Amino acid sequence: MKLNTDKWFTEIYPEDGCALSLEVSEKLHQEQTEFQSLEVYQTTAFGKLMLLDGCIMLTDRDNFIYHEMMTHPALYSHPNPKRVLIIGGGDCGCLREVLKHQDVNHVHQVDLDEAVTRASEKYFPDLCESNNDSRAVLSFTDGVEFVENAEADSYDLIIIDSVDPVGQAARLYSEDFYRACFNALADDGIMIAQSESPLFHKSLIESMQSRMVNVGYKSVTSLFFPQCTYPSGWWSASMALKGNKATENRKVDIETKYYNNDIHQAAQAVPQFMRNFA
């Protein structure tokens, strides 16, 4: 079928020799923020689409999988999470999911770029429906500096919902940053970082997880889940425990669309090709 290129947005993954296209009907927003280019499109089958520096951040249709998997497995692996820090996450999808947990009494979201949150409020209002929750604090500054200046024992959970490890975000994948998160966490604290595609980025996952262990996290668990608008359509998160063990079998007691107790277990199943370092 001939491609009518002006009706399609294509994200190309040059190092992987492939691309993903979404049919679009209208460009809704375009700006060059202080930190990145930000675009929003209306697609014909995926609702609205947000791009940062030309890379797909989220669509209406499938962001729920990512936002649920970046939050609930870690929250249900902690005995009693109350204080949560989100680094990045400017679209506010993770913030909304964290605030579904009634025991959580404080969530601080620190994204570098306020423009991302303002665009999300306008074009993805459902993701921002909890932004005025009295437990939520939104700051716009560099996440690395924020964590480096955090007091010890400040958080029970740190979620690193950042863009790919390039530019301003590269430091969010460093050993120094993981050490700063370790120091800011309580003794039974958990850090979870989005860790890209197992199929395309296995060596990145390996290096991220070895850095986490190097700075003192007792164990690191990989979580695998589908994410069809990200490179390869298969995504991961790396969950690092400062304490000895995760809490098992807490009953899921919130409303979700993807995550449940079975998914909590299944997402931790490690494919054979990923086992040679896990």
**Smaller CB separation from ligand SAM, 87 or 241:** 87
Minimal distance, residue 112 CB to ligand SAM, in Å? 4
Nearest approach in angstroms of CB 120 to ligand SAM is 8
Q: Which residue's CB is nearer to ligand SAM, number 218 or number 238?
A: 238
In whole angstroms, how close is the CB of 96 to ligand SAM at the nearest point?
Answer: 13
The CB density around residue 82, as the number of other CB atoms within 10 Å, is 16
Nearer to ligand SAM, 234 or 250 (CB): 234
User: Interface residues with ligand SAM (CB under 6 A)?
Assistant: 52, 57, 66, 87-91, 110-113, 116, 142-144, 161-164, 168-169, 172, 194
Positions marked catalytic: 161
Map the chain to HEC letters.
CCCCHHHEEEEEEHHHCEEEEEEEEEEEEEEECCCCEEEEEEECCCCEEEEECCEEEEECCCHHHHHHHCCHHHHHCCCCCCEEEEEECCCCHHHHHHCCCCCCCEEEEEECCHHHHHHHHHHCCCCCCCCCCCCEEEEECCHHHHHHCCCCCCEEEEEEECCCCCHHHHHHHCHHHHHHHHHHEEEEEEEEEECCCCCCCHHHHHHHHHHHHHCCCCEEEEEEEECCCCHHHEEEEEEEECCCCCCCCCCCCCCCCCCCHHHHHHCCCCCHHHCCCC
Judged by CB, which is closer to ligand SAM: 159, or 241? 159
The nearer residue to ligand SAM, 131 or 168, going by C-beta atoms, is 168
Least spacing, CB of residue 208 vs ligand SAM, in Å? 13
Q: How far is the CB of 249 from ligand SAM (least distance, A)?
A: 28
Nearer to ligand SAM, 140 or 274 (CB): 140
Min dist CB 272 to ligand SAM, Å, is 25
Burial profile 170-188: b = 16 or more Cβ within 10 angstroms, e = fewer: eebbeeebbbbbbbbbbeb
Measured CA to CA in angstroms, residue 261 lies from 67, 76, 105, 153, 163 at distances of 16, 9, 23, 29, 28
